[in-house]
């Protein structure tokens, strides 16, 4: 709170201006100073709240305003003293937009696809990252550091650097060994199927889960694993029946972050489903973009669709904020 500098006696010079007197007071009086810090703190906090939340308010305003009034464009509000102030407020209460969103395009199918893709990817990532987390966290073997760095390095390359060969392979073209020209085999045509998205998602988002699970699995005491082994469980059995359940918070963290990442992904989601149609497993991205490309003037529907699409993430953040915070920092700072 207050510093140890002695609160000097107030200089009561009457010829000082009010601002100067106030500044001098703040500089010398610890009480006033901490009140100033307090006030500044609240101003800054409110500023951050407004800037992060205002865009969502704007979506709500647009969704509730009938479309005809949106294009009119005057968003000023009369305020008693200041006159007309630019501040958007809903022009009406058109809840029907939230129903229309599902009638215009099958938006629920897009969201359903997103959920299927995100859930499947999360399960695959949890299983594979558990194996790797167990190995990196609990076993000593030559090459451990190098392999961890390899996982790390691969995960940072841009998806664009993987796109072209993956797209070719998912179209069903033969896989050729780079630089040798040797054709290995022709994969099945995977574009427009969940596999064409789940595979890249798993590879892209697995490294973060590996790092989270490595940290958690390393903390389980050896004694617990040994006890399970004495009971007759295999090493893998001990991993999935003892270590994984005991690391439930870490597993949940990895699951939440993977789910969010897949649900929010854009690059492969928009490319691997060729026509962005729900029958081709196009996720949320396709649903939102179809409003932008097909119903180019239905601004209220674009906003309503965005609100519907954002709700699952909103709920997840409120429920799992601790997990998100710890997972993000663990992945980056490796504490």
Partner 1 sequence: MSTGQRTDGPTRESKRSGPLVAITRWMENLGETGFAYLLLTPVFLLLGAIALYPLLRTFELSMFQNVLADPEYVGFGNYVDLFTGEADPRFPGTTTFLPEISTSGQFPFVHVGGLMRSALAVTLVFTVVSVFFETIIGFGQALVLDQDFRGRRWVRVAIIIPWAIPIVIQGMIFYLMFHPTAGFLTDYLASWGLVAPKNTLNDPSSSLLIVTVADIWKTTAFMALLILAGLQSIDRSLYDVAKVAGANRWQQFKLITFPLVLPSLGIAILFRTIDAMRIYGLIDSVSSCTAVPSLSCMVVSTFNTNRGLASAIAFVTAGIIGIAVLGVIYQQYREGF
Footprint of partner 1 on residues 129-168 (CB under 8 A)? Answer: 129, 131-132, 134-135, 139-142, 144-145, 147-168
Q: Give the nearer residue to partner 1 in terms of CB position, either 13 or 288.
A: 288
Q: DSSP letter string over 295-313?
A: STT-HHHHHHHHHHHHHHH
Q: Which is nearer to partner 1, 82 or 333 (CB)?
A: 333
In the complex with partner 1, the residue whose CB is nearer, 219 or 329, is 329
CB 275, min distance to partner 1, A: 14
**Which of 18/311 has CB closer to partner 1?**
311
Residue with tokens 């997840």: 316
Binding to partner 1, residues 16-55 (CB under 8 A)? 37, 41, 44-45, 48-49, 51-53, 55
Nearer residue to partner 1 within complex by CB, 17 or 72? 72
Q: Considering only CA atoms, which of 152, 268, 276, 132 is closest in space to residue 200?
A: 268
Give, in order, the Cα–Cα distances in Å from 220 to each of 135, 215, 305.
13, 10, 44
Binding map of partner 1 across residues 168-187, x = CB under 8 A, - = no contact = x------xx-xx--------
Indicate the DSSP class of residue 188. P
Residue range at the interface with partner 1 (CB under 8 A); choices 9-17, 100-108, 121-129, 214-222: 121-129
d(CA 163, CA 238): 38
Among 109, 212, 271, 272, binds partner 1 (CB under 8 A): 271
Compute the least distance from the CB of residue 25 to partner 1, in Å: 16
CB 295 within 8 A of CB 289: no
- State in angstroms the smallest separation of the CB of 207 from partner 1: 8
Residue 85 to residue 5: CA distance in whole angstroms? 45
| Rounded least distance, CB 223 to partner 1, Å | 18
Site string for partner 1, 278-317 (x = CB under 8 A): ------xx--xx--x----x-x--xx-xx--xx--xx-xx
The only residue of 25, 66, 88, 249 in contact with partner 1, by rule CB under 8 A: 88
In the complex, least distance from residue 22 CB atom to partner 1, rounded to whole angstroms: 18
3-state helix, strand, coil in the chain (%, to 5): 70, 5, 25
| Phi, psi torsion values for 105, nearest 5 degrees | -130, 155
73 binds partner 1 (CB under 8 A): yes
> Residue 19 corresponds to which tokens in the numbers above?
């601002």
Binding of partner 1 by 242 (CB under 8 A): no
Binding mask 53-72 for partner 1 (x = CB under 8 A): x-xx-xx--x-------xx-
Using CA atoms of 223, 227, 232, 235 in order, give the dihedral in degrees to the nearest 10.
Answer: -30
Tokens 């789940």 belong to 198
Beta bridge partners of 213: none
How many other CB atoms sit within 10 Å of the CB of residue 228? 18
115 binds partner 1 per the rule CB under 8 A: no
Backbone angles phi and psi of 283, in degrees to 5? -85, -165
The distance of closest approach from Cβ of residue 15 to partner 1 in the complex, given in angstroms and rounded to an integer, is 28
Burial of 308 (0-12, 13-18, 19+ CB in 10 A): buried
Cβ proximity to partner 1, 279 vs 292, nearer residue: 292
Query: For residues 15 and 179, which CB has a smaller minimum distance to partner 1 in the complex?
Result: 179
């Amino acid at each position: 709170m207050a510093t140890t500098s002695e609160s000097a006696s107030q200089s009561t010079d009457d010829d000082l201006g009010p601002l100067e007197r106030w500044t001098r007071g703040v500089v010398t009086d610890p009480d006033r100073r901490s009140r100033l810090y307090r006030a500044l703190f609240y101003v800054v906090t409110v500023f951050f709240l407004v800037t992060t939340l205002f865009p969502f308010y704007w979506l709500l305003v647009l969704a509730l305003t009938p479309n005809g009034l949106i294009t009119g464009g005057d968003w000023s509000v009369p305020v008693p003293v200041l006159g007309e102030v630019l501040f958007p407020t809903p022009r009406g209460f058109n809840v029907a937009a939230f129903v229309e969103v599902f009638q215009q395009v099958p938006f629920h199918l897009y969201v359903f696809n997103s959920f299927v893709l995100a859930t499947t990817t999360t399960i695959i990532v949890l299983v594979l990252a558990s194996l790797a987390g167990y190995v990196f966290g609990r076993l000593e073997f030559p090459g451990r550091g190098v392999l961890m760095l390899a996982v790390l390095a691969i995960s940072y390359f841009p998806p664009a650097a993987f796109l072209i060969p993956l797209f070719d392979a998912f179209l069903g073209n033969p896989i050729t060994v780079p630089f040798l020209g040797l054709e290995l085999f022709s994969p099945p045509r995977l574009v427009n199927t969940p596999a064409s998205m789940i595979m890249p998602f798993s590879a892209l988002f697995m490294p973060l889960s590996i790092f989270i699970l490595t940290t958690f699995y390393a903390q389980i005491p050896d004694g617990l694993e040994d006890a399970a082994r004495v009971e007759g469980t295999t090493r893998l059995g001990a991993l999935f029946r003892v270590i994984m359940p005991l690391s439930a918070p870490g597993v949940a963290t990895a699951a939440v972050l993977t789910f969010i990442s897949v649900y929010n992904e854009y690059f492969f989601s928009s490319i691997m489903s060729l026509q962005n149609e729900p029958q081709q497993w196009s996720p949320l991205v396709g649903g939102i973009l179809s409003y932008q490309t097909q119903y180019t003037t239905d601004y209220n529907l674009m906003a309503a669709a965005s609100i519907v699409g954002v709700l699952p993430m909103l709920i997840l953040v409120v429920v799992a904020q601790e997990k998100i915070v710890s997972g993000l920092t663990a992945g980056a700072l490796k504490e």
